[in-house]
Copies of this chain bind each other. A is one copy, B any other.
Amino acid sequence: MSDKKLNIEKELLSYLPEKDELIGNLVSSMEYSLTAGGKRVRPMLVMEFAKLCGGSEEAAMPFACAIEMIHTYSLIHDDLPCMDNDDLRRGKPTNHKVYGEACALLAGSGLLTLAFEAASSERAVSLNSTEKCLAAVRVLSEAAGAVGMLGGQIIDLESEGKSVDIDHLKIMDAKKTGALIIAAAKLGCISAGASKEQIDAAVSYAENIGLAFQIVDDMLDITSSTEELGKPVGSDSENEKSTYAALLGLDECRKISEELTENAVKALEVFENDTETLKKFAYYLLRREN
């Protein structure tokens, strides 16, 4: 899997413009966050679903890069002082701590914009088709927009300091993290020209691992060490955020995240090709320690 991560990173960087004298700092700031590690969950999903549906990693790669750019932009903006005001991300200083707030703001927007450039690029079209690329743009813009990820972020902001229930938390997370994870699965299917049945199964897998992912995140915020996590533990309770762990307790969280992972694996049954990688991936996300 680490080979694949290196491939993704190399490809991500290939879309960045040249670091000339004038815009060099902006491009460096975009590069800093693109290469700051990360599990590459979303691009992995794009490529695995592409292969599972008879497509190729290579063709799916521009879409994989696009969704990782959007994810990275959301982290940069999320860390800004007016949002979560975080100093540390994946064990490194956050973007605005290194490049300043203004540059971090622009770098985030630059990555969001670059995602659409990647998905509509000549390379993307030649490996897929005009139709598939436009479908990818549509999926990306809906998932990243006000009804998707940004909607989740506003709900998150407005929930701070309030006690919210599980249903509220689920709706928030379905938008905040779920939307992009589901989009990743769809993008793989789009690249491969998958059937309606395959797309539905991919969405079901993604919905289940998406929620499991968030619940595990909440648990790690309590059980992990700062070193393992790459950011201060306990930041959720410090920010007065309602979390699954706080509302349900660790035991119940463990049980539910396992059930969700089983559901995800079950959703893969409709595929005729080998689903071993996606099964392993679901369990890896469940058992991860950061």
Contacts and interface: CB of A to CB of B under 8 A. Distances in A.
A83 B120 CA distance: 30
Nearest to A159: B22
Nearest to A148: B113
A73 B158 CA distance: 21
Contacts of A155: 22-23
Interface string A84-125: 000000000000000011110110111011101101110001
A110 B26 contact: no
Nearest to A136: B120
What number of copies of this chain does the assembly contain? 2
A248 interface: no
Contacts of A82: 80-82, 100-102, 105
Q: Of residues A134, A140, A144, which shows the largest number of chain B Cβ atoms within 10 Å of its Cβ?
A: A134
Interface in A29-79: 30, 73, 77
Contacts of A146: 16-17, 23, 26-27, 30, 110, 113-114
B125 A141 contact: no
Sorting the interface of chain A by its residue count into under 10, 10 to 19, 20 to 34 or 35 or more gives 35 or more
A289 interface: no
B137 A120 contact: yes
User: Taking chain A's interface residues, is the majority helix, strand, or loop, or is none over half, making it mixed?
Assistant: helix
B141 A113 contact: yes
Contact of A130 (B27, B80, B116, B134): B134
A138 interface: yes
A116 B134 contact: no
A26 B113 CA distance: 20
A157 interface: yes
Interface in A121-167: 121, 125, 130-131, 133-134, 137-138, 140-142, 144-147, 150-151, 153-155, 157-158
A25 interface: yes
A171 interface: yes
A140 B105 CA distance: 19
Interface of A: 16-17, 22-23, 25-27, 30, 73, 77, 80-83, 100-103, 105-106, 108-110, 112-114, 116-117, 119-121, 125, 130-131, 133-134, 137-138, 140-142, 144-147, 150-151, 153-155, 157-158, 171
Given A26-B154, A82-B101, 8 more contacts: A23-B154, A30-B146, A82-B100, A82-B105, A110-B146, A113-B145, A116-B116, A130-B131
